[in-house]
Amino acid sequence: MYSISRFVFIPVSAVLLASACGTTKTQPAVSTPSAQTVYKPELDSLRFEGEKHLKNIRQLTYGGNNAEAYWSFDDSKLVFQSEWKNLTSQGCDQIFTMPARGIDPTEKPYTLVSSGTGRTTCGYFLKDGRVVYASTHGAAEACPAFAPFAGGRYVWPIFDSYDIYVSKADGTETKSLITGPGYDAEATASPDGRWIIFTSTRSGDLDLWRYDLQTGDLLQLTNLPGYDGGAFFSRDSKKIVWRASRPQGEALTKYQDLLKQGMVEPSSMNLYVADIDGKNAVQVTNLPGANWAPFFHPDGKRIIFASNHHTMGQGGRVFDLFLIGVDGANLEQITHSGTFDAFPMFSFDGTKLVFASNRNKSRTPSRDTNIFIADWVD
């Protein structure tokens, strides 16, 4: 989402995601090219010059704000959050699933997973096919109000009414999974099916916690002052990667004051990796601006992430995807749309990348954030 979840320091063309439930409008069919498809760069209208790692880019949503699309473990579906009016009339984000192959007009393309009330964020598939997500619907049916600016500063809201729920992918059999006083959200699951990692204020700060799906046990993974969030597991379930702020001095005081008001300013973040128990934490990036939305490359040796470090001299309003080694070496820019590209995740077979972007075929400025899938070329 673009709120406080695995979100971003929103650029000029991307708005904080919110969504809700409503009537679905069928879109034209979009199908994944077969292995025999001949790639013709000149026909790839969604691909920009320099995007050598991407080809055959397909668009899967068509308006409003859609983000945080993540693969099911069999690569057949995507879960995402949306405030697109074709999907929801609630006025803030709800969680949906859709076929990863694209939209088939003969079937219902988007399925509501969340309740249709409250505000939701950060849907993610469990290995058994169920979906975990955070929602405020247990506290109130209405969208919780928030202002994206406080004292002239861009902020994300930290709603203490967020709890983590689990349901079947069709939205049935919903039950609370992780609850308690304060903010509980940003949940993702390990590929081995054992763990959930999430962000919580139960320690008094924004820290990472691990939940054992077998026993229900909780383990605090981070304890340094600052925001720790948006964590994902490596493919072998042995490592985690996440974004963090490490404010000091006056910056720390400002951070703590905002947190008391239920807000955080996502203007300065870098990436970290650690073992899944939080030990052996190492900082990967040391870049200006907001570096966030990290995900391990299938080889486990690289990380793809979103960043505006390269545009800070122009106000930091353009976000692109970058690849970097877990040792912090060999930084490489992946996208070049000149707009907003973020929330990347590799398919589990390693052949595709899903991401959110403000790009479009007409290459005109747009505030719409949509979901795209590309074939990945290493």
pLDDT value at residue 313: 95
pLDDT value at residue 34: 39
Closest CA to 167 of 264, 64, 94, 242: 94
pLDDT in tens, 271-293: 999 999 999 999 999 999 999 99
Q: Give the integer Cα–Cα distance in Å for 342 and 8.
A: 8
Tokens of 363: 């290459």
pLDDT value at residue 154: 87
**Residue 339 neighbours by CB under 8 Å, 6+ apart:** 11, 13, 318, 357, 358, 359, 365, 366
Q: How far is CA 228 from CA 271, 278, 283, 314, in A?
A: 10, 12, 12, 27
- List alpha helices for 214-261, DSSP H: 250-260
pLDDT value at residue 106: 61
Torsion of CA 117, 119, 122, 126, to 10 degrees: -20
Instruction: Give the chain's residues under pLDDT 50.
Output: 1-37
CATH architecture of 59-376: 6 Propeller (2.120)
Q: Give the integer Cα–Cα distance in Å for 328 and 283.
A: 8
**Residue 125 neighbours by CB under 8 Å, 6+ apart:** 70, 71, 72, 73, 77, 79, 131, 169, 189
**Residue 196 neighbours by CB under 8 Å, 6+ apart:** 132, 164, 177, 178, 187, 188, 189, 190, 210, 211, 213
Q: Are 352 and 374 in contact (CB under 8 A)?
A: yes
pLDDT value at residue 153: 82
| Partners of residue 342 on adjacent β-strands | 356
pLDDT value at residue 147: 81
pLDDT value at residue 44: 86
Q: Give the integer Cα–Cα distance in Å for 122 and 270.
A: 20
Q: Give the integer Cα–Cα distance in Å for 224 and 355.
A: 30
pLDDT value at residue 10: 42
Closest CA to 175 of 126, 218, 105, 245: 126
pLDDT in tens, 11-61: 433 333 332 223 233 233 333 333 444 556 666 899 999 999 999 999 999
Q: Are 8 and 2 in contact (CB under 8 A)?
A: yes
Q: Give the integer Cα–Cα distance in Å for 304 and 73.
A: 19
pLDDT value at residue 305: 98
pLDDT value at residue 9: 39
How many other β-carbons are positioned within 10 Å of the β-carbon of residue 304? 23
